[in-house]
Amino acid sequence: MDITAPVKPPENRRRRRRGGFFLRFLGFMFAAGMIVFIAVAGAAAFVLWKVSSELPDYEVLAKYEPPVMTRIHANDGALIAEFSRERRIYVPFTAIPECIIESFISAEDKNFYQHGGLDVQRIVRAVVTNMSNLQSGRRAVGASTITQQVAKNFLLSSDQTVERKLKEAILAIRIERAFTKEQILELYLNEIYLGVGAYGVAAAAQSYWDKALNELTLADCAYLATLPKAPSNYDPFKFADRAVARRNWVIDRVVENGFATKDEGETAKAQPLGVIKRSSGPKIFASEYFAEEVRREILDRFGEDKLYGGGLSVRTTLDPRLQRIARKALVDGFVAYDRRRGGWRGPVDKIELKGDWGTALAAKPVWADIAPWRLAVVLEVSKDKAVVGIRPGRTSAGKLVKERETGVIPFEEVKWARPKLARGLGAAPGSVNAVLKPGDVIFVSPREPKLAEDGTPTASPDELKGQWSLQQVPDIGGALVAMDPHTGRVLAIAGGFSFAQSQFDRATQARRQPGSSFKPLIYTVALDNGYTPSSIIVDGPIEIDQGAGMPKWRPKNYDAGSAAGPSTLRFGIEKSRNLMTVRLARDMGMPIIA
């Protein structure tokens, strides 16, 4: 046996060494993987801890009090005006119709009642869809649940960041644990923005259809459910076809989810949107000055936050019928005075009559609170009459109506239009074409019948149909206030010709001497302090000492120099005698009058 020959290791020992290396490699990889896993899990846990520590307190939702608009009512309960930064009407869950809930769940979160804040199935589907959409450049789809939207709308910003999405997801889970599904829906349906300045479904129902929630149809509910993601994209006044298509998609989802039958869905899809252009101004005609005075009073008493977000319901003393009468009486007075003193100052504008005169006339701005006055254009004119085209109105969707209305201004309604000259007024016109020319843009109002001596109208409305009177905006201003003499309640305020023209309220903001309107107050005080209508007061010259350094005040009667001598109190008030009133006030003493 050659002891110098190298000894070969046994085959099984070599295999053992190879197997040990493989096991060591596997162990190393497992250890490395565990380290990486622990590091990633630790980093994730740290990120979640960090994000969670910065989360807002979701429990504030239980005490949520949204800013609600202030509503002003007349003495009969009719709505006058609304004041708010955001148009919002908060309603409890029990007052929200089933069709609203079903439509929003179908459109926004069909698994709302099954998930715990996050819809994992939708998230996975959205990730897969968005990855495939990267190449085609399509818009990314979302997977937010209603609960996540509550978290974002109430507690977070709208930043498109990973951190915000993490916060949203954590908050959604916590909200689901702290609140019932009904509470979450109540928050969501009262807070969501639905276009035209409306927040929440109740405000949106009024803004789009002037309806209460319980009056909404399936078609209405479905349209509201199209709006949360992009109200401007489905604006019914700008994109009606797009809005109808999206509404019908929601109706299909409602049917698919078993909330409505197929027949009900088809009936709803056949309905038009039916939206109306809701005015943001006062709801009672000619009440603008009154509403503004109430607004200033509330602002002074309670402050801006209460006015625009306190949800106040204010009952006022306004009488709608008297308010309309007051406005008409004031405007009639303006017109009568202006015609006597101001003459005709010409048309307000001119337009070309080529093409559609209605479109050109509709482009001219006009105040909304001067009805029954209308803007018109002279189409034809002759000696005896002028044919005018009336400014066309708009449909409930805001589109110009296709029909064109025309009428006639007879010569009798232009006789007053004496031309205004540098010194006074010119001669009365002898024909209509001496005043008006084709293309003239003017104001007109429906012709009213003249009254006979017994007060009965000389013509019926049917006889005067289609006839108009020439009008012009008065150059003068004034105001009228109607009060209940027994209670002092203000029943009507007309602060000028048009609130849209000028918001300056001559009834409450103008500063002027009261003049003879102060005399009844002095005579009333006299009667309360022992005087009678037959008491004698001297109607004669009087001097009043105004204090050191001031000249003597020597008042005069309206017809200067006249004096009736000793006269009864009744004579003084009937004839509005200045000297008697001043002497009476001096004799009683100003403190008792003040």
DSSP-assigned letter for residue 214: G
Which of 382, 502, 516, 562 is the catalytic position? 516
Q: Which amino acid does the sequence have at 8?
A: K
Q: At what angle do helices 162-178 and 11-53 cross, to 10 degrees?
A: 70
- Could you give the C-alpha distances from 204 to 192, 212, 230, in angstroms and in order? 10, 10, 14
Indicate if 516 belongs to the active site.
yes
Q: Tokens in use for 354?
A: 């080529």
- The angle at the Cα of 233, spanning 229 to 236, to the nearest 5 degrees, equals 115
Catalytic: which of 108, 168, 292, 293? 108
Amino acid at 367: W
Q: What 8-state DSSP symbol labels residue 420?
A: B
Nearest to 307 by CA among 317, 297, 293, 318: 297
Cβ neighbours of residue 212 under 8 Å, at least 6 residues apart?
202, 205, 206
Question: Alpha-carbon torsion 564, 569, 575, 576, what sign?
Answer: positive
- In three-state secondary structure terms, 202 is helix
Distances (CA, A) of 417 to 198, 339, 384, 420, 440: 47, 7, 14, 9, 15
| Whole-angstrom distance, CA of residue 412 vs CA of residue 390 | 19
Round to whole Å and give the CA distance between 207 and 276. Answer: 8
Q: What is the DSSP string of 316-370?
A: ----HHHHHHHHHHHHHHHHHHHHHHT-B---SEE---SS-HHHHHHTS---TTS
For residue 483, give the nearest of 501, 504, 508 by alpha carbon: 508
Q: Which helix (H) or strand (E) holds 177?
A: helix 162-178
108 catalytic? Reply is yes
CA 366/CA 471 separation, integer angstroms? 14
Q: Which residues are catalytic?
A: 108, 516
